[in-house]
Amino acid sequence: MLVLRLLNVVAPAYFLCISLVTFVLQIFVFIPSMFRDPSTTPLFSPALLHGALFLFLSANALGNYVLVIQNSPEDLGKDLNLGRGAEVADWLDGSRSLGSALPSTHFCRLCARVTQRHDHHCFFTGNCIGSRNMRNFIMFCLYTSLACLDSLVAGMAYISATLSMSFADPLAFLTLLPHSISQFFSGALLSSEMFVILMLYLWLGIGLACAGFCCHQMLLILRGQTRYQVRKGMVVRAQPWRENLQEVFGKKWLLGLLIPVQNVESSCRRQKEK
């Protein structure tokens, strides 16, 4: 439990550190290297377009990240008077359930609260993911993967120009790391260049992980399930996939794709209104 609490603090700090390093490399290293002659650079040059695209992706990723933290799932334990030790212990060992009135209700040990439509606890945000912040979490994963892909392409272009190498061969990227390590210890490669090469593989790993997680989460949403329900083997009420999408993304889903906005409606609030 102590390790999980420590991870809950370290993971968000790690993500913010990687985001800061990525922003610095893009703005002060990659984009300036694209300007060969600033005095003759047209308005819609590749460098300016790339910079605008990166800022758009970064703003959406960071904005949805903040909204995931702000829109914490509601603590149903306050309404259920779960403050006594015996009742909380029932939630801890999973022996208590509220039935169909509160589907997939779960007590999170790290957040110390009972949440409805609990999906999972995200260590990189230090928060539980539920009905109130599911859409922002998916948008956070989507734009993080796109920002990593953008940084990967820009970094490869920078390394290609700096080291005068070509990535036309697919094996060139796979052999880049071991070849660079040998050159670094032999003194033929600068530490700054080695750092950029290491970041390339880090962006690739984070981008693939976020993209895979986003696709898996979308598949569960189309089925009307959460990860917690799948893990516990719970049976969900079958309904059309369009309704499942609307429960998460709302009617103004297109706006959420372009800018980070708060999920106004949630299934928890709708059930309370009923």
Residues 179-228 pLDDT 10s:
999 999 998 889 999 999 999 999 999 999 999 999 999 999 999 888 88
Return d(Cα 75, Cα 273) in angstroms, integer: 17
| Residue 130 DSSP symbol | -
pTM to 2 decimal places:
0.85
Q: What is the pLDDT of residue 93?
A: 42
**Structure confidence by residue, pLDDT tens digits, 7-56:** 888 999 999 999 999 999 999 999 888 776 655 556 667 788 889 999 99
More confident residue, 170 or 231: 231
First-to-last C-alpha distance (Å) of the chain: 38
**The pairing of beta strand 106-108 with beta strand 113-115:** antiparallel
Return d(Cα 55, Cα 147) in angstroms, integer: 9
Return d(Cα 232, Cα 136) in angstroms, integer: 24
Cβ(47)–Cβ(41) below 8 Å: yes
**Structure confidence by residue, pLDDT tens digits, 91-112:** 444 444 444 345 567 788 888 7
Token code pair at residue 120: 């999972």
Q: What is the pLDDT of residue 234?
A: 81
More confident residue, 124 or 111: 124
Catalytic residues: 122
Query: What are the two backbone dihedrals, phi and then psi, of residue 15, each rounded to the nearest 5 degrees?
Result: -65, -45
Cβ(156)–Cβ(173) below 8 Å: yes
Cβ(158)–Cβ(196) below 8 Å: yes
Query: In terms of Cα–Cα distance, which of 271, 228, 231 is closest to 247?
Result: 271
| Residue 237 DSSP symbol | -
Return d(Cα 102, Cα 81) in angstroms, integer: 15
Alpha carbon dihedral 75, 81, 85, 86, in 10-degree steps, equals: -110
pLDDT at 262 over 70: yes
Q: What is the pLDDT of residue 232?
A: 81
Token code pair at residue 50: 């790339």
Q: Which residues partner with 113 through β-bridges?
A: 108
Return d(Cα 116, Cα 114) in angstroms, integer: 7
Return d(Cα 63, Cα 234) in angstroms, integer: 33
Query: In terms of Cα–Cα distance, which of 40, 112, 100, 109 is closest to 76?
Result: 112
Cβ(145)–Cβ(211) below 8 Å: yes
